[in-house]
Amino acid sequence: MRKWFVVIVSLLTLGVYAQDNDPFVSVNKVLKLMGTRFEITVVAANEEIGYININEAVAEIERIEKLISSWNINSETSEINRFAGMRPVKVSQELFDLIKRAINIAKITDGAFDITYASMDKIWKFDGSMKVFPSEERIKNSIAKVGFEKVVLNESELTVYLPEKGMKIGFGAIGKGYAADKTKKLLISKGVKAGLINAGGDLTSWGTKETGEKWLVGITNPLDKDKVFSWLPIVESSVATSGNYEKFVHFKGKKYTHIINPRTGYPTTGVKSVTIFAKDAELCDALATAVYVMGVDAGLHFINQLDGVEVLVVDDENEIHKSSGVVLDKSTNFKK
């Protein structure tokens, strides 16, 4: 269920610039955090303050990574996984709340999003080396330990217990969105009037550019990942895209992407990309994966029942499907 994000952000603020009579400047920095590309932009009174703000943002992201990373053996998440099938693990209120929200999303998506996806056996390969389709038995066995409903949470003790040895949780489909939200909240508390955080494609914004213009997000053209098919403004909101243009395999003429359905163990089919628009990046992150797994019809039906959430889906035939709140130029299409 690892995600490949394909949002292209139009900052129009790359680098630092301002005229002498401008009261604010836009400061931008790109760096690698949480194993992915982060781009942090803040609108500040001057360049020095802007870079101080960005350094504070980086420290917050690094703190979150130490908390939720399953690659860091000293993280609380790693401890939960290490003691699966043995005993409950006491965790911080912050991680407990994140896990609780993740399980609630798993419930409403009927397991299309599931943090226990990390328990899956890695039987699919998308690097060109896979020549034989896995047997039904292998696929079934690969998800034997997956199941959000198995996770035992004790609210009074702040403990998390995975009851089966080999069970694992992972935040690959929600962690970067969470980090973006937390960082945004920190910067706002520091008095930063506006900014944009792009966490590997999970994007959140507040305020406007130093020019007063709205931030823009560009949705990638599925026929050419280096081009944008539509620019959309975002105001005090977040966006996340889950997509796949490169990692897939073909068997008997059918294309299977690298995003695995945690309920069945089979790769998803029929969808090229899903873009979610909502207030919080954490929710966008999780729902982008969920809708990708659900597919076009079920995904659209699900999102249309949620307040404050919109979706844009591109299917395998390059057709665009969208919820009622998404407005695109009528000329938008890929079949040219």
Residues 257 and 293 sit within 8 Å (Cβ to Cβ): no
| Residue 2 located in a structural domain | no
pLDDT for residue 8 is more than 50: no
Q: What is the 3-state secondary structure (H, E, C) of 226-262?
A: EEEEEEEEECCCEEEEEECCCCEEEECCEEEECCECC
- Both 188 and 282 in one domain: the answer is yes
Count Cβ atoms within 10 A of the Cβ of residue 37 and give its class: 0-12 exposed, 13-18 middle, 19 or more buried. Answer: middle
State which H helix or E strand residue 283 sits in.
Answer: helix 281-294
The string of pLDDT tens digits covering residues 102-130 is 999 999 999 999 999 999 999 998 888 88
Q: In the prediction, which pLDDT does 21 show?
A: 46
| Residue 305 located in a structural domain | yes
Q: In the prediction, which pLDDT does 5 show?
A: 37
pLDDT for residue 59 is more than 70: yes
- Both 115 and 197 in one domain: the answer is no
- Both 215 and 148 in one domain: the answer is no
pLDDT for residue 295 is more than 60: yes
Q: In the prediction, which pLDDT does 14 show?
A: 31
Q: In the prediction, which pLDDT does 247 show?
A: 76
Amino acid, single-letter form, for residue 212: G
- Both 188 and 258 in one domain: the answer is yes
CB atoms within 10 A of CB 111: 19
Residue 243's CATH number:
3.10.520.10
Which domain, by its residues, includes 148? 76-161
Q: In the prediction, which pLDDT does 89 show?
A: 98
- Both 318 and 225 in one domain: the answer is yes
DSSP assignment letter at 17: B
The string of pLDDT tens digits covering residues 153-183 is 999 999 999 999 999 999 999 999 999 999 9
- Both 183 and 245 in one domain: the answer is yes
| Residue 331 located in a structural domain | no
Q: In the prediction, which pLDDT does 126 show?
A: 86
> Could you give the dihedral angle defined by the CA atoms of residues 138, 291, 200 and 322, in that order, rounded to the nearest 10 degrees?
150
- Both 152 and 297 in one domain: the answer is no
The string of pLDDT tens digits covering residues 238-289 is 999 988 766 788 888 888 888 899 999 999 988 989 999 999 999 999 999 9
Percent share of the chain, pLDDT over 70: 89
Q: What is the mean pLDDT of residues 325-334?
A: 66
Q: In the prediction, which pLDDT does 227 show?
A: 76
Confidence of residue 2 (pLDDT cuts 50, 70, 90): very low
Strand extents, DSSP E, 34-188? 36-44, 89-90, 152-154, 159-161
Residue 111's CATH number:
1.10.3980.10
Percent share of the chain, pLDDT over 90: 72
Q: In the prediction, which pLDDT does 325 show?
A: 85
Q: In the prediction, which pLDDT does 231 show?
A: 83
Q: What is the mean pLDDT of residues 206-214?
A: 94
Residue 204: φ, ψ to 5°: -140, 150
- Both 183 and 150 in one domain: the answer is no
Confidence of residue 13 (pLDDT cuts 50, 70, 90): very low
Among candidates 140, 275, 154, which has minimal Cα distance to 219?
275
- Both 117 and 263 in one domain: the answer is no
Q: What b/e readout covers 39-73, taking b as 16+ CB neighbours within 10 angstroms?
A: bbbbbbeeeebbeebbebbbebbeebbebbbbeee
pTM across the whole model: 0.89
Handedness of CA 226, 230, 236, 241 (dihedral sign): negative
Confidence of residue 331 (pLDDT cuts 50, 70, 90): low
| Residue 252 located in a structural domain | yes
| Residue 1 located in a structural domain | no
The string of pLDDT tens digits covering residues 72-102 is 999 999 999 999 999 999 999 999 999 999 9
Residues 95 and 115 sit within 8 Å (Cβ to Cβ): no
- Both 50 and 183 in one domain: the answer is yes
Q: In the prediction, which pLDDT does 128 show?
A: 81
The two structure tokens encoding residue 194:
């506006």
Residue located via tokens 């939200």:
181
| Residue 168 located in a structural domain | no
Q: What is the mean pLDDT of the chain?
A: 89
Q: In the prediction, which pLDDT does 121 show?
A: 93
Strand extents, DSSP E, 83-201? 89-90, 152-154, 159-161, 194-199
The two structure tokens encoding residue 54:
């960005």
| Residue 137 located in a structural domain | yes
Q: In the prediction, which pLDDT does 113 show?
A: 98
| Residue 336 located in a structural domain | no
